[in-house]
Amino acid sequence: MTDSEGARAAHGGAGHRSRLRKRLLEGGPEALADYEVLEYLLFAAFRQGDTKPVAKELIARFGSLSAVLNAEPGALADVKGMGETSVAALKSVALAARRMARSEVEQKPVLGSWQALLDYLAIDMAHLTVERVRVLYLNAQNRLIRDHHVGDGSVDEAAIHPREVIRRGLDLGATALILVHNHPSGNPEPSRADIDITNRIAEAGRLLGITVHDHVIIGRQGHVSLRAKGLI
């Protein structure tokens, strides 16, 4: 490539970045396709040059924008063109999204901002490759006082002890709780074990004055509320 050809390529790349920036700022939330969002995020790591091939490869490899942002750093680094700086740029966005979603949950009573809770849980758990169990402890105003990571593994009494769940709630001064876990298979439909452990925890809570509001199961295909299904 001659010097003049290189200059034209650099100018063309700068022009593309400028056009993409203008569409982002003026076009609203749907102005950019998913790969274009990734293109823009990668500008911070690639001072010049075309980020479109890398962005498209990321979408092809992981399947969606959210899957890219939730991918493990090592998996992102395996994509041609991705380095430590570009991986960190994408992971910082995923971290910001989690913190924004969490702040929405923390600022309001949980039962009055249910969609915000579901958004937070989906961002945080839908793409996990292991089954993770959490208990959200609430105070008398139904505000979140502790998001407790119980552990990773199947939802049964070997991993979750109903009395321990309730005892921690008493220690925290909680009056209610919401059970949460994910299904790495993607399908959020509850198993028999999910239903059984929920009812055991709810019964233990009734004896000690702590209400189990719900058990929410998160998957890539959506979520299921055991309360909404009449299973609590």
- Whether 154 shows a pLDDT value over 80: the answer reads no
Give mean pLDDT, residues 129-137: 91
Q: What is the pLDDT, as a whole number, of residue 10?
A: 45
Q: Which residue has the higher pLDDT, 2 or 107?
A: 107
Tell me the pLDDT band of 7, cut-offs 50, 70 and 90: very low
Q: What's the pLDDT band for 11 if we cut at 50, 70, 90?
A: very low
pLDDT at position 3 is 37
| Residue 160 vs residue 188, higher pLDDT | 188
What does pLDDT average to over the chain? 86
- 12-40 pLDDT, tens digit per residue, is 466 888 888 888 888 776 788 888 888 88
Q: What percent of the chain has pLDDT over 90?
A: 46
CA end-to-end span of the chain:
69
Looking at per-residue pLDDT, the higher value among 40 and 11 belongs to 40
How far is residue 17 CA from its own chain's centroid?
28
The pLDDT assigned to 157 comes to 56
